[in-house]
Each structure stands twice: as C-alpha cells, then as structure tokens.
Structure 1
Amino acid sequence: MSRDITVGLNAVIVSVREDEPRVLTVTDASELPMLPSGALDPESDRTLELGLRGWVRHQTGRELGYVEQLYTFGDEGRDPRERAGGPRMLSVAYLALTQDLPAEAAGGHWVGCYGFLPWEDWRNERPSVLDDIGQALDAWARQARSGAERERRAERTEICFGLGGAGWDGYRVLERYELLYGAGLTYESWVDKGREPPASARLFGKPMAHDHRRILATGLARLRGKLRYRPLVFELIEDQFTLAQLQRVVEALAGLRLHTQNFRRLVERGGLVEKTGRIDTRTGGRPAELFRFRREVLRERRAPGVGALSPRGR
C-alpha cells in the first residue's frame, strides 16, 4: 500500500541585530519555538522557492532577499503528525538572509541563535557550558557496551567539541548538535522517543519544535562555511558601513572574536570593499570611514569571501 507524502517548506531566516545573529521563529501548539513553515501547494507553486517566498510574503508582508536551498529533511517520525498516523512529512529547508524583516504580521519573534546552540558562541572566550557538556558526554561514553564503542564515543566527543586537546572547529555546528541528540542530551531526543525527559536529565540549549533545531544548526553551519568563499555577509549589513561594523557582523556569525588588523587587511586587500569618501560620525568616538561592498570582486575572484576565520589571539 502506498503512503501519502506531504512536502513542507521551512525557512531559516537569519538577521544580525545589535551584534547578535537572530533567527525568525513562530510558536506551535506545543508552545515551543519553530521555524516559519508552510506546505507546498503543488497546484499553484511552480517552484519550491516561489512557494517559500509566497508564504513568507503572506505572513510578513515583505519580500525575502537572498535565499538558497539548504537540505531536505525526511527522517521517519520527524513530525508528531506523522507519528500519530498521518502522512510521511518531508521538509525542504531554505536559508534566507535579511537586514530587516518585521515579523509582527505573523506573530513571530526574532530569537538569538546562540540561545538554542550556546556552545557555538566563543566571542567572550570559551563557553562555560562546555565543561558540563564534556562531563555529560564522558558519562555517555562510559555507558557503551564495549571498549571499542567507548573509544569511538570519546573520540567523537573530543573532535566535535574541541576537548582533550583537540582544536575547536567552528564549522562542525551540525555534528555537535547531532552528537548531543544521539547522546540523549537534548529535549528533542526524548520527545522523539515519545517520552518527557525526567527532571534529572541533563539537557543543553533551548529546545525547538520537531527537528527545527537540527535545521537551524544546518543553516548556521552552511552560513559559516560560505563566509569563507562567498560575500554573504553583505546581505546582512547596510549598503554603507564602517569596517568595525562589518567585523562585528562576521564575528556574530562565526561566534569568534577576530584580530582587527588581520580582518581589515583581508577585506581591503582582497578587494571586497571600497571607500565611499564619507565619514560616519555616529560611532560615539572617533569618526570612521564608510565603505561599501565592491561588486566587481565577483568577476575578479572565484571565491570572494572573508577567508578561513581564525580567532583573535590564536
């Protein structure tokens, strides 16, 4: 017997406000935040992207700017409606970047990304939550049934979270979330098994509905990776900006503090920006030069991004 399939569209809509990366969320019946989503209408949606843009326009009254397809999520049981006997739920997720997208019309909220993934923000040095995560994952590793499995779990923990002398890799966002999920250290991993977590359970990060935190982690990983070779950061900043403002946006997305002189040398010598001849007097201190994105770099370089990101002082 064939089984019905429903195709949904999800959007990881990211903006940087007050030097914080934020994602647009709405609330489902469980009161948990979720990513904006809507069903594909096979009769009227000529393409998936047009369908996505259409319901975002309907919900917010605004047009999305930069959009790219992220991934298709279709694990069995990923949606409670499916677990209750409904159709198989597939979701095509998109990453969207915007400078300003009011959410009032949809009843949505801009929420800080690092509330859901607090171990990803290293701008104020090493996150303290990593100590608790390390202890919880060590206990999980010791529960393995064989020595080989214990070693495999311990190695995966060290590589993903930069523990035991392993270096931190800012691009392993999804791998870190999936490790915590698999170890039963997220709220979602309990709910997906049909159980409420006990009060004694060690859970990390704010939960989201369904598998939307996995989708968010996938979007943040994609965004961090593309910073290296695509000028996506300029989709999130005004047309004219100071180099300090540009650096803070990149730092917010990367979750790292960057060496100021190295960053400025990279964006200027790489031809990413050009001077406007104007001065910003609103900085609260010494007036700063205003720059703009130099679009000619798209023709001149195959990979016009900000390069591999190294934290300040390392």
Structure 2
Amino acid sequence: MTTAGGVGPSAGGAGATAGGAEIVEIGLNAAIVAVAGGSPLILVVSAEGSLQRDGLPFGPFDPARHRTFETSLRDSVEKQTALSLGYIEQLYTFGDRGRHRLPGETAKHMVSVGYLALTRSEAEDGGRLAAQGAAFRDWYRYLPWEDWRTGRPKLIDEIIVPALSRWEQSAAAGDRAAARAARIRLAFGTGDLPWDEERVLERYELLYEAGLVAEAAEDGHVAARPDVALGQTMRHDHRRIFATAVARLRGKIKYRPVIFELMPPDFTLTALQTTVEAISGRHLHKQNFRRLVEANALVEPTGDMSIATGGRPAALFRFRRQVLAERPSAGLKLGGR
C-alpha cells in the first residue's frame, strides 16, 4: 500500500515524503450501526479537544502490526470501545485536502478509509462502552431530514428547501443555476419527484456545498455558520462518512440479507419490520411487508412464541440461511413511497 507520492506509510500510519513535503497518514474510520428500541444507532466516541463534538471510532493504519486495513480497524475499535465487530465492509476512501487537519498543523494530510460495521451488541455493552468514552446515539440526531417514519419532516419544507432555493438563486442564471435546481429536486424530492431514501450522501453534500451544515464553515468552505443547526455536527468529515454508510446500508438491505446482522437469533415479524423501518427511515404497511418477507423466503418459524410485549403471543422466526445458497440477490426489495 502506498500513499500520495508513492511513499508507503511507516509504523503508526504516517508516510513522509522527502524534502519536507507533506506527510500523509492513513486512518481508518468505522460507522458502527445497531438497532435498539426501534431506533437506529451509530457508535460515537468522545471528542478530545475538538469542541466536544462526536466522532466515529478512528485509528491509524499500522502496517508494522497489522497485515490488512480490516484487522487494524477491528483492533482499534476494540481498544477504543471494548466492542468486537461482526459484519464489516469497506465504504470509500476519503482524502480531500483539509478534511482532517487541526489548527496549527502545516504538514499533515489524513486519508481515511471508511467502513460500515453492524452489531447486535448494543444492549448488553452499553455500560462497558461508556467506560471507554463511547456511546450509541440515535443516528437521526445527525441526519434529522432522513427520518420519514411519521411522514415528510417539517424542517425540509420549512428550513431546508427555502435555504436551498436561495442558494440556487445566488448562482448566475444559466447552466449553473439549472444544475443546482435539478440537484435539489433529485435530492429532496421536490416538485414531481419522489423521495429516494438512498440519496443520503447526495443530500448531505448538497447541504454542505450550500453552507447549511456547520462543518462547511469549520472547514472554511463558507465564511459563516448557518443560522439554524441542521442536525448535530461531528468532528472533521465524520458526518459525511456516516452519511455514506447510511446510504450503503439502505441500498444493501434491498439485495442482501444484512438486516439480519442487526437482529437477535429469534425475533417476531413486528420486530423485523421495526428494524427495517428504522434503517430505511420509512413507514411500511404491515401486510405488504409480511407478504414481501414471505415471498422472499427469508425467514422460517422457530415453533416458539414470544410474550415479551405483554399482549397476544407472537410467533418467533429466524433467518433462513439456506437462502444464501439459493440465489445471489436475497434482500427486501422495498417499493416506492
């Protein structure tokens, strides 16, 4: 593995070029997702000297200790959070200039490889995580415009769309203004276009470019912070990495059975639907959802019943693992809104 300029990273993850050129450090970020109590959760770690903002678990790649990025990431996360990861996949490499530089630094450039990880361990690990300065938070506190489970969020039409319209009008008439208008319609489903829950990253980047999230001012992209806070900020570009992870997961559940990585071994269909709704940010019709699960043959009954809700006993199901060998695309192909 080489960094910019063809220089491999040294122990600790930094690779320095000759003649005092910029140092490039390879870092690894993890967007670790769980679901509990019907809420989608993201694991964040305490910010040290970074305006107390939340951040994703992070660690430098150390090739002297780890052969692969993934093993290095797993080790860093376990040390930071005492949490062992299950499912994990690489997202994207984030290397924009200035994305991770701290005040006073002049010769360091951080390139991060982002990962998506899923876990079922939130409930039993909460106290241990707190001891490590980490916690699971509802992910809609960072991306509040993404939660459509009770309908279109008011802040889209009351705050976001008017602000984006002003940004669109600030461009000179012509192709640039038309391009901005098209991006707004596609991202936020205005006019005759539907909302597409997978455009999470496009929406965040549009808000960033328009200067409507605080990170844009902190990075020097715009001069002033926005008048209204759109979601809780994260340090550096961690909210962008997080948005990338949400978009990937929302798309992935439609063609791979990764949703079951967030479920206990035995579950009710109601619990499964609640988890899918939490991740997708959409309300799903109960009978349509159950027909979808049945048609895709993703679950099988255990023969046991659950009385955990205190109401009528509900049948328990488990993931039918044979589906992995039966067809390459085995997910929940959710329809349009």
Show the 5 A alignment for 1:287-306: 287-306=313-332
The answer to whether residue 47 in structure 2 is matched with residue 15 in structure 1 is no
Give 1:82 deviation, angstroms: 8.2
d(CA) in 1 for partners of 2:219, 2:138: 24
Task: Give the corresponding residue for 2:68.
Answer: 47
Could you tell me whether the CA contact under 8 Å between 2:214 and 2:233 is conserved in 1? yes
d(CA) in 1 for partners of 2:139, 2:240: 12
- Give the partner amino acid of 1:3: E
The answer to whether residue 195 in structure 2 is matched with residue 168 in structure 1 is yes
Show the 5 A alignment for 1:271-286: 271-286=297-312
| 1:81 counterpart SS class | coil
Show the 5 A alignment for 1:223-238: 223-238=249-264
| 2:26 counterpart SS class | strand
Q: Deviations over 1:261-295 (max 9, x none)?
A: 11111112211000000011112211110000000
Give 1:125 deviation, angstroms: 0.7
Task: Give the corresponding residue for 1:81.
Answer: 102
Alpha carbons of 1:151 and 1:280: their partners in 2 closer, same or farther (altered >3 Å)? same
Give 1:297 deviation, angstroms: 0.3
Q: Which runs of 5+ in 1 are unaligned?
A: none
Tell me the TM-score normalised to structure 2 length.
Answer: 0.88
Could you tell me whether the CA contact under 8 Å between 2:101 and 2:109 is conserved in 1? no
Give 1:83 deviation, angstroms: 7.2
d(CA) in 1 for partners of 2:29, 2:274: 28
Could you tell me whether the CA contact under 8 Å between 1:271 and 1:294 is conserved in 2? yes
d(CA) in 2 for partners of 1:136, 1:195: 15
Show the 5 A alignment for 1:96-107: 96-101=117-122, 102=125, 103-107=129-133
Ranges of 4+ aligned residues in structure 1 off by more than 6 Å: none
Aligned-CA RMSD value:
1.6
Could you tell me whether the CA contact under 8 Å between 1:81 and 1:87 is conserved in 2? no
- Give the partner amino acid of 2:120: Q
d(CA) in 2 for partners of 1:291, 1:24: 28
Could you tell me whether the CA contact under 8 Å between 1:231 and 1:304 is conserved in 2? yes
Task: Give the corresponding residue for 1:158.
Answer: 185
- Calculate percent identity across the aligned residue pairs: 48
- Size of the aligned set, in residue pairs, is 310
Give 1:60 deviation, angstroms: 2.7
Q: Deviations over 1:112-134 (max 9, x none)?
A: 11111111000011100101101
Q: Which runs of 5+ in 2 are unaligned?
A: 1-18
| 1:154 counterpart SS class | helix
Task: Give the corresponding residue for 2:281.
Answer: 255
Within the candidate set 79, 84, 93, 1:72 is matched to 93
